[in-house]
């Protein structure tokens, strides 16, 4: 069987173009009813371009603020007399908060619009970031105040990606979603590079306080700009359907219906596997290079893979959108991108299991990290294909579970390194996890909508005949 047969055929032979599909369908009582989706306006191309740049910068600043504490941790520990364990408690507070607001943030974004949630959340965590040096000087223990601040940062930043997923499903055409999500992914890599370079320079010259002031003030400026030029005076209220036909509710019955769909379970499982290996790889790569190549230049392995990831994420988004616009089935494109992200990238991880020179290791790690970014055009966008009416909440659930499983795999990886003293077992474990997730997604992944709550069984074939991906 040819590889492309796994991914599927093109959709040139459909009798009815997707763009000409009416917004009305026949309800179960035989009368015409509105399509079970909120009637939200798709951004025109000029506005979409403005929002793409704005959200890229917002994601970049999000990571600048997120990584400020790890960059300054050593200096702050010296100032306040923290031990390694106490420093870990402070930085770990972020991830506990991050897990708790994923579903809630996505659900609220589905109801009132991701733009508003992003603006409110960004303004809040920007204020906390800018005030962090002041909080550290309060009368209470610096360890307590900083842990609470990091926990609140996690709570507020936890809504970012679910809100993006909801916003993308509400405001962006299907054939342009891959590029938007990939651009957001490249923004995270750019933010990591910025705070690693510029933040380190500010840390050495002006002290650790300057890093928090800079990240907080720039993020606050972003919020002010969004409010002043993109949202102020616009009443873009998201129309929420009545309780009779609402597709955005989080009732237990609707969640169970959705998770009975093999395509949804396959997407969630693939996301868990990818998130776990991605978190673990990012956590242990610096240690891998330090242990294996102790005399190599650290900035090379800390900069080059991220530069490759930025370019690769943008390239993947462009390719996926181009293929969909050329008529390839959406499900075929999603599977192809995920194959590159979890399949081909794992080949380069396996190559790291044997002894290599430092340049070869950097090349293989950069290739693996670059290909992994294609996930932004695969599973990360698939949630918007399957359930656009509740994409934010569903993505939040996926991201929450992915964060927990990521923490588990990070611990297991550390245990393997300590027991076996071999990085080969770790990279083999990552490959195995990726292979399982990819296999399930290739077999059961689809792109047909599963959130058509108020359509009867007789009406769904009519709808899916026109909406078939």
Residue pLDDT, tens place only, 248-274? 445 677 888 888 899 999 999 999 999
Ranges 1-5, 203-207, 286-290: which has the least confidence: 1-5
Burial of 445 (0-12, 13-18, 19+ CB in 10 A): buried
- pLDDT for residue 29: 38
pLDDT greater at residue 437 or residue 241 = 437
Q: How confident is the model at residue 465 (pLDDT cuts 50, 70, 90)?
A: very low
Which residue in this structure is represented by tokens 């600043």? 61
Ranges 286-290, 355-359, 411-415, 452-456: which has the least confidence: 452-456
The pLDDT tens digits of the residues spanning 33-42 come to: 444 444 457 8
The pLDDT tens digits of the residues spanning 303-342 come to: 888 889 999 999 999 999 899 989 899 999 999 999 999 9
Mean pLDDT, rounded, for 379-386: 90
- pLDDT for residue 450: 86
- Both ends of the chain: CA-CA distance in Å? 22
Mean pLDDT, rounded, for 416-442: 92
Ranges 7-16, 166-175, 411-420: which has the least confidence: 7-16
Ranges 95-109, 225-239, 358-372: which has the least confidence: 225-239
- pLDDT for residue 117: 93
- pLDDT for residue 235: 42
For the record, the structure tokens of 171 come out as: 């405001």
Tell me: pLDDT of 53 over 90. yes
Residue among 244, 175, 238 nearest 38 (CA)? 238
- pLDDT for residue 456: 46
Tell me: pLDDT of 404 over 50. yes
- pLDDT for residue 304: 87
Q: C-alpha distances in angstroms, 142 versus 52, 105, 137, 303?
A: 38, 29, 7, 32
Distance CA 389, CA 28 (A): 20
Average pLDDT of the chain? Answer: 82
DSSP state of 20: G
Residue 411's CB is within 10 A of a number of other CB atoms, namely 12
Cβ-Cβ contacts under 8 Å for 158 (sequence gap 6 or more): 97, 98, 99, 100, 101, 102, 105
Tell me: pLDDT of 419 over 90. no
DSSP code string of 233-302: T------PPPTTT-SS---HHHHHHHHTSHHHHHHHHHHHHHHHHHHHHHHHHHHHHHHH-TTS-HHHHH
- pLDDT for residue 413: 87
For the record, the structure tokens of 1 come out as: 């069987």
Q: How confident is the model at residue 453 (pLDDT cuts 50, 70, 90)?
A: low
Percent of the chain with pLDDT over 70: 83
Please report which helix (H) or strand (E) contains residue 32, including its range.
Answer: strand 32-34
Distance CA 16, CA 467 (A): 9
Mean pLDDT, rounded, for 126-138: 92
Distance CA 23, CA 361 (A): 52
- pLDDT for residue 405: 86
The pLDDT tens digits of the residues spanning 197-216 come to: 888 889 889 999 999 999 99
Tell me: pLDDT of 239 over 60. no
Backbone φ and ψ for 138, nearest 5 degrees, come out as: -70, 170
Distance CA 101, CA 105 (A): 6
């Amino acid at each position: 069987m040819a590889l492309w047969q796994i991914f599927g055929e093109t959709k040139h032979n459909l009798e009815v173009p997707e763009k000409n599909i009416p917004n009305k369908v026949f309800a179960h009582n035989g009368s015409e009813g509105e399509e079970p989706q909120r009637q939200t306006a798709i951004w025109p191309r000029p506005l979409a371009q403005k929002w793409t740049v704005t959200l890229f910068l917002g994601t970049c600043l999000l990571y600048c603020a997120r990584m400020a504490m790890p960059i300054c941790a050593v200096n702050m520990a010296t100032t306040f007399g923290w031990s390694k364990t106490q420093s870990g408690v402070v930085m770990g507070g972020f991830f506990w908060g991050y897990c708790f607001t994923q579903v809630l943030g996505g659900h609220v974004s589905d109801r009132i619009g991701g733009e508003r949630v992003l603006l409110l959340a960004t303004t809040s965590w920007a204020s906390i970031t800018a005030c962090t040096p002041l909080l550290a000087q309060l009368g209470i223990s610096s360890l307590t105040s900083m842990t609470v601040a990091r926990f609140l940062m996690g709570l507020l930043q936890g809504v970012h990606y679910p809100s993006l997923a909801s916003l993308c499903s509400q405001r962006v055409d299907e054939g342009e979603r891959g590029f938007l999500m990939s651009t957001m992914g490249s923004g995270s890599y750019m933010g990591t590079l910025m705070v690693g370079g510029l933040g380190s320079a500010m840390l050495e010259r002006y002290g650790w306080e300057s890093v928090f002031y800079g990240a907080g003030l720039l993020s606050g400026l972003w919020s002010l700009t969004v409010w002043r030029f993109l949202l102020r005076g616009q009443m873009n209220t998201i129309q929420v359907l009545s309780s009779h036909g609402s597709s955005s509710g989080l009732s237990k019955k609707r969640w169970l219906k959705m998770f009975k769909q093999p395509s949804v379970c396959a997407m969630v499982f693939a996301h868990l596997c990818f998130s776990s290996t991605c978190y673990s790889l990012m956590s242990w790569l610096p240690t891998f290079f330090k242990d294996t190549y102790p005399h190599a230049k650290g900035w090379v392995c800390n900069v080059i893979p991220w530069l490759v990831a930025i370019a690769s994420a943008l390239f993947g988004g462009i390719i996926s959108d181009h293929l969909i616009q050329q008529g390839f089935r959406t499900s075929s494109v999603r599977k192809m991108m995920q194959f590159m992200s979890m399949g081909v990238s794992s080949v380069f991880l396996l190559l790291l299991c044997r002894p290599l020179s430092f340049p070869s290791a950097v090349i293989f790690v950069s290739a693996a990290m670059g290909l992994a970014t294609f996930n932004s055009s695969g599973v990360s966008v698939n949630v918007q294909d399957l359930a656009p009416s509740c994409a934010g909440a569903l993505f939040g659930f996926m991201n929450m579970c992915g964060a927990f499983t990521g923490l588990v795999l990070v611990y297991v990886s550390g245990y393997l390194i300590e027991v076996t003293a071999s990085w080969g077992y770790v990279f083999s474990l990552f490959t195995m996890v990726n292979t399982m997730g990819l296999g399930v997604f290739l077999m059961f992944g689809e792109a047909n909508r599963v959130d058509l709550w108020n359509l009867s069984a007789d009406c769904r074939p009519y709808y899916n005949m026109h909406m078939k991906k």
